[in-house]
Structure 1
Amino acid sequence: MADRMGTWVEAMRSGRFEDAWQISEATLAERDPATRDDAALPYHLRWVWDGRSFDDRQVLVRCYHGLGDTIQFARFLPLLARRAASLTVEVQPRLLPLLADLAEREFELRPFDPAHPLPPSECDLEITELDFALGARPDAAPPPYLCAQPAALPPRSVAFCYGAGDWDPSRCVPQELLAPLCRHAPCVTLMAEPCSLDVLNPGGCAFDMAETAALIAGSELVITVDTMVAHLAGAMGRPVWLLLKADPDWRWPTQGTSTPWYPSMRLYSQPRAGDWDSVLEQVDADLKARSTIMAER
C-alpha cells in the first residue's frame, strides 16, 4: 500500500493524472464498503465515494479536508452539478461567502457542522475525490473561478504570507527573510497576526476570507508559502509566487516552475531541505527586476 501511495504521489506531481486515477480505482475496488465515511476516523482520513454513478442523482459533496483543498477542487463543482439531478455542497462555513458566486443557480451550499453532518444522499463524494470521479484534469475547469472586490492599495502592491500553521512548520518561512522584499514595492501581510515587516497593515490581516480575498485582488502579486492563501490567489487567477519546501505536497511538481492547477502561479522550490535562503535570494532578484519593469511602464 505504501508503494502504491508513493506511485500515486509521483503521478500527481508529474501531471500524469490518468495514471493516478487508475491507482485510485484499484484502491477503491479493494476497500471494505463498511469503512466508507467511517466515523471512527478523523474527517481528513475518510473516504466517501463508493464508485456509484452520480449522473441524474441527488448528490452531496462533503468537504472534509482543509480550506485550501476545498478551494482547489471547487473548480469541479459546476461540472458535477451539470451531471447530477441536484447538488448540495457541505462546506466549511468560512468559505460560504467566497463560493456563493460559483454556486449561483447551479448548486446549494450548506455549512459543514462536524457535530451534525448532513445525512447521506443518493450519492456522496468528498471534494478531493472530484477529479478522479469526473475524470477531469485541472484544465477542464481553469481559473479564475473565484473573485472578490479588490481592496484599495497603492500601485504595484505585493501581498505576503509566510506561515502555514503549526501542523507543518517546514512549510513556513522565517518572517525576517522577507524583509528585503519590502524594498521593492508597497507590501501587505496576509497573516492573521502582527507583522514586523515594513507593510501597510502591521497589525495583520483578519482571518476572514472576504478580507483576505480583497487584499489578494488589490495586489499585483502574491508571494506565499504552501497554504490556503496560495490556493485562493491561484483560484482568483492572480499572479502568485509559491515558496515550496524541497519535498512538497502531492499537488506540486518537483521539477519546473509551473503547475497545471494554477497557470498564474510560479513555483520557487528549495534546492535542499530547509534552504529558504536560496529561495528568497532568487525571489528578491526576480521581484527587483519585476518592480523595475513595472515602474518603467
Structure 2
Amino acid sequence: MSRLNQCWIAAMRAGRFEQAWAIAERINACRDPASRDDPALPYHLRWVWDGAECDGRHVLVRCYHGLGDTIQFARYLPRLAARAASVTVEAQERLCGLLAGMPGIDRLVPFDPAAPLPAAECEIEITELDCALREPPSRARPPYLRVAPAALPPGTIAICYASGDWDPERNVPASLFGSICRSARCITLVAEPTDLPVLNPGGCPYDMGATASLTSAADLVITVDTMVAHLAGAMGKPTWLLLKAEPDWRWSPEDSASPWYPSMRLFAQPRPGDWAAVVEAVERALVDRELAVEQRARG
C-alpha cells in the first residue's frame, strides 16, 4: 500500500474528510487517464471518476464495489441529484429493489458485469461521491433507507456473525453467540441454518427484501463488518458492530462511534483474532442496556 493510501485511510478513520479528499485528488492526479475503468482489471480495482464537476451534467453512478459500499454511499444520491442534470445508477441487482424508493434516482439499472452501461457525460463510482460533492457524512445522515418491518416479537435482537468470503477474518465463530441467544430473543440474519437458539433456526432467506424487513423490525442489530451493518445503519437502527483489530478504512478501532452511522456502536478486537473479548464486551453492554430499560420503565 502506498504512503498516500495510508494517509488517506488515517484521515478517513479520523473523520478528517477535507484532508482525505485532498489526498484523493493527489492520487487521481498521478493516474494515467487511459487506465480509467480499465477492462483488464476486476471491477472492484477500477477507478472511474476523472475529477470533473458533476454540476449540471448527466451523471452515471457505477457501483463496482460491495453491497455494503453501495448502501453506505447511497446517502449521497439525493445530494447529487440536487446538482446534476440527471442521475442514472447502475447498481447490483440484489439492491435495486431497496434503492428503487430513494429520491434522486432518475434511472436505476441492474449492473451486468458482462455488459455494463456505455460511457456517459460524467461517470463516477458510488464510493467517490463524498469526494466529488465535498460533503461529509454529517450532511447526509441516516435514516435514508426505509423498509416495512417484518412481524417480530418486541425486543428481538438480530445477529449476524458471518461476512462471506471477502475477508474471513471478519467472521465471528457462531458458537460465541450462544450465551446472547440464550439470554435474549434473537433472530439470525445469516443465510444458513444454525444450531443457535434463535427464532429462525433455518436461517435468514437469501433475499434482500426479507433481510431488510427483518433488520427493520429488530430492536437491536449485532453484526460483523458486512452488508448487514450498513443496511442497519442506513435505517438508523441501533447497531453494534464487531470489528477485527485492524478493520476496514471506514472504521476507527480506537473509537466506539462512527460518523457514518450515528446509531452505531463499535466493538473492536483488543488483539488480532480475539473475538471472545469482543463478545464479552457485548454481553456486558447488553446487561447495561437491560438495566437502563428497567430504570426507564420504573420512571
TM class, shorter-chain normalised?
over 0.9
Give how far 1:54 is off. 1.5
- Correspondence for 1:287: 286
**What secondary structure sits across from 2:221 in the alignment?**
strand
1:60 aligned counterpart, secondary structure: strand
Tell me the equivalent position of 1:41. 41
Contact 1:188 1:199 in 2 (8 A): yes
Helix, strand or coil for the counterpart of 1:194? coil
Aligned counterparts, 1:47-62, within 5 A:
47-62=47-62
> 2:183 and 2:26 mapped to 1: Cα distance?
51
Structure 1 equivalent of residue 21 of structure 2: 21
**Superposed counterparts of 1:198-217, under 5 Å:** 198-217=197-216
1:109 corresponding residue in structure 2: 108
CA distance in 1, matches of 2:38, 2:46: 6
Measured in 2, the distance between the counterparts of 1:199 and 1:286 equals: 20
Q: Which amino acid aligns with 1:137?
A: P
Q: Would the aligned equivalents of 2:88 and 2:105 in 1 still touch at CA under 8 Å? A: no
* Number of residues of Structure 1 aligned to a counterpart in Structure 2: 296
Q: Residues of 2 paired with 1:294 and 1:157: CA distance?
A: 14
The residue identity in structure 1 corresponding to 2:36 is R
CA distance in 2, matches of 1:60, 1:113: 15
Displacement after TM superposition at 1:169 (Å)? 1.2
Counterpart Cα distance in 1 of 2:245 and 2:105: 40
Task: For structure 1, list consecutive stretches of 5 or more residues without a partner in the other structure.
Answer: none
1:174 lines up with 2:173 in the alignment: yes
Residue number in structure 2 paired with 1:154: 153
Aligned to 2:185: 186
Alpha-carbon separation, structure 1, partners of 2:196 and 2:76: 37
Task: Give per-residue Cα distances to partners, 1:23-65, cap 9 Å, x unaligned.
Answer: 1101111211100000000000000011112211111000000
Unaligned runs of 5+ in 2: none
Higher mean displacement: 180-189 or 116-125: 180-189
Residue 243 of structure 2 contacts residue 253 of structure 2 at CA under 8 Å; is this kept in 1? no
Identity %: 61
Once the two structures are superposed, residues 47-88 of structure 1 have per-residue CA deviations (whole angstroms, 9 ceiling, x without a partner) of: 001111221111100000000000000000111111111110
Q: Distance in 2 between matches of 1:169 and 1:117?
A: 29
Matched, 1:99 2:99: yes
TM-score, normalization by structure 1:
0.97
**CA 1:235–1:217 in 2, change beyond 3 Å: closer, same or farther?**
same
Aligned-residue offset at 1:167: 2.6
Partner residue, 1:225: 224
Q: Verify the 8 A CA contact 2:89 2:105 in the aligned structure 1.
A: no
- Give the 3-state SS of the residue equivalent to 2:71 in structure 1: helix
Structure-2 separation of matches of 1:150 and 1:184: 23
Question: In the alignment, residue 290 of structure 1 is paired with which amino acid?
Answer: R
> For 1:167 and 1:49, how far apart are their aligned partners in 2?
24
Match of 1:70 in 2: 70
Shift of 1:184: 2.8
1:86 aligns with 2:86: yes
Aligned-pair Cα RMSD in Å? 1.2
Displacement after TM superposition at 1:183 (Å): 2.8
CA distance in structure 2 between the partners assigned to 1:167 and 1:238 by the alignment = 25
| Residue identity in the other structure for 1:6 | Q
Instruction: String of CA shifts for 1:223-250, please: whole Å, max 9, x gaps.
Output: 0000000000000000000000000000
Give the distance between the partners of 2:50 and 2:30, measured in 1 at CA: 11
Contact 1:156 1:294 in 2 (8 A): no
What is residue 6 of structure 2 aligned with on the other side? 6
4+ residue stretches of structure 1 with deviation over 6 A?
none
TM-score calculated relative to the size of structure 2: 0.96
